[in-house]
């Protein structure tokens, strides 16, 4: 083996990449040839010197960038493995795009919805008013300690003469129908209670159109009760 061939194989010999058959011939030639031996020793010294040199530190930004590139390359290879992984990769891209698009609107929308619910829950009690869903007459829902006066009628929404006014405490006979009106302090019909018959269009007209002079207590207008009495036989006419 010539010196030229041996010197070409010295680097492979130091890197332990030389085949065993060639390694024996190269070592034998180095032991017998002074020039190749000195070449081998100089390369060994240079190799040891390079190993003892301080290794430069990798910048953190470069290390992070390299890790990101490696992660992207690994994900790209996995995504292209088969058709199922390709579909999964496309779905993840669509989901990510949708999340990035909706995230700027999610917080304002949620805040506005919660604010609307809070404001609505605060305002609902002030907007509600009592309803009576029972079979009790409206007059029974009034407080028992309320004092009612006896208002005077100014005008009734009916011209028939078979209806007349009575105080709320007046007794009603079996052949009569009583329509008790609740009059507010402005002289308007606020509520009613029918006893002994059914509500007719004539009674509805009276409830809507009747005007009263409100009762007074110590000169101040107060709520009152007034009873409109109909005879049962004549009341059935429309």
Tell me the mean pLDDT in the region 35-42: 88
Please list, in sequence order, all residues whose beta carbon lies within 8 angstroms of the beta carbon of residue 18, skipping any fewer than 6 positions away: 9, 12, 26
Asked whether residue 186 is assigned to any structural domain, the reply reads yes
State how far the Cα of 141 lies from the Cα of 30, in Å rounded to an integer: 122
First CA to last CA distance, the chain: 139
Q: What is the CATH number of the domain that holds 225?
A: 3.30.2420
Residue 166 belongs to domain spanning: 148-235
Q: Encode pLDDT of 97-117 as tens digits.
A: 888 887 788 788 888 889 999
Tell me the mean pLDDT in the region 125-143: 49
Asked whether residue 43 is assigned to any structural domain, the reply reads yes
pLDDT at 24: 85
Long-range CB pairs of 133-141 (<8 Å, 24+ gap) are 137/193, 137/194, 138/182, 138/191, 138/192, 138/193, 139/180, 139/182, 139/191, 139/193, 139/225, 140/193
Asked whether residue 83 is assigned to any structural domain, the reply reads no
- Residue 204 in tokens: 């509805």
pTM for the model stands at 0.35
Asked whether residue 215 is assigned to any structural domain, the reply reads yes
DSSP-assigned beta bridge partners for residue 213: 152
The answer to which of 31-45, 56-70, 140-154 has the lowest mean pLDDT is: 140-154
Asked whether residue 63 is assigned to any structural domain, the reply reads no
Tell me the mean pLDDT in the region 49-66: 86
Provide the number of structural domains found in the chain: 2
């Amino acid at each position: 083996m010539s010196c030229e061939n041996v010197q070409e194989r010295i680097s492979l010999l130091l890197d332990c990449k030389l085949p065993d058959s060639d390694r024996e011939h190269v070592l034998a030639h180095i032991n017998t040839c002074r020039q190749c031996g000195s070449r081998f020793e100089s390369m060994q010294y240079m190799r040891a010197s390079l190993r003892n040199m301080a290794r430069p530190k990798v910048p953190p930004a470069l290390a992070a960038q390299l890790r990101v590139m490696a992660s992207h390359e690994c994900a790209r290879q996995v995504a292209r493995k088969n058709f199922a992984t390709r579909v999964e990769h496309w779905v993840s891209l669509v989901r990510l795009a949708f999340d990035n698009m909706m995230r700027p609107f999610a917080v304002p929308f949620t805040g506005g919805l919660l604010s609307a619910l809070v404001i609505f829950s605060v305002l609902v009690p002030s907007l509600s008013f009592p309803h009576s869903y029972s079979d009790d007459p409206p007059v029974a829902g009034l407080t028992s300690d309320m004092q009612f006066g006896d208002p005077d009628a100014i005008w009734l929404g009916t011209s028939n003469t078979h209806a007349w006014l009575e105080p709320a405490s007046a007794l009603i006979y079996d052949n009569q129908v009583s329509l008790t009106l609740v009059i507010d302090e402005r002289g308007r019909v606020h509520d009613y209670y029918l006893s002994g018959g059914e509500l007719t269009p004539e009674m509805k007209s009276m409830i809507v159109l009747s005007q009263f002079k409100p009762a007074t207590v110590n000169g101040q207008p107060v709520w009152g009760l007034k009873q409109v009495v109909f005879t049962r036989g004549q009341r059935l006419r429309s």
